[in-house]
Amino acid sequence: MVFHGLNWTLPNTPSVKVRTDLEGVVRGRLQEGRLYASLEDTIVENLASIKGKKGIGLVLSYCAALLATKKVDRSYLMQRAGERGVSQITKELLGEIDYVFASSNPGSEDIKSLYAIRKWSQSIHRRLPPRLPQPNWSLLSEDELVDVVGKQLGVK
């Protein structure tokens, strides 16, 4: 995840081998003789690895930070998520991120960080989704999302 720009300090762990398709190989990045998985595959593999494990909140935070701040191909992400059995959690996480970016009635306590994040998204011409119904917040709360995205962007 750090390879894809996660702006957090993570323990130095060895690389994990993952299966992908030909498109995943093309989307991957070659560095120092190693092929690294695409951002979409990295996110999906991390979400798939948390089934029944501790640390789910941390992995969700890392994935949310990258999904909110990096360019991902949503159709490929959802295709890979379906293949790994994590399409529902991926959809929910994307929906919660979209809501934070586009809500007309933000429920976050940290309004300053929320508006800094929204200003950043407008500066990169991020396409905002249409008005969405408020999600159930089953994964990360609105405040947690603002915290992790703000930390990733350095506004928190």
Predicted local confidence at residue 86, as pLDDT: 92
pTM: 0.74
What does the alpha-carbon distance between residue 40 and residue 31 come to, in Å, rounded to a whole number?
18
Predicted local confidence at residue 76, as pLDDT: 93
Phi then psi for 34, rounded to 5 degrees? -120, 140
Rounded to the nearest 10°, the torsion over CA 103, 87, 148, 59 is: 160
What does the alpha-carbon distance between residue 121 and residue 118 come to, in Å, rounded to a whole number?
5
Residue 117: how many CB atoms within 10 A of its CB? 24
Domain that holds residue 21: 2-153
Helix (H) or strand (E) holding 142: helix 142-153
How many domains, in total, are found in the chain?
1
Predicted local confidence at residue 80, as pLDDT: 92
Predicted local confidence at residue 131, as pLDDT: 59
For the chain, list residues with pLDDT below 50.
Answer: none
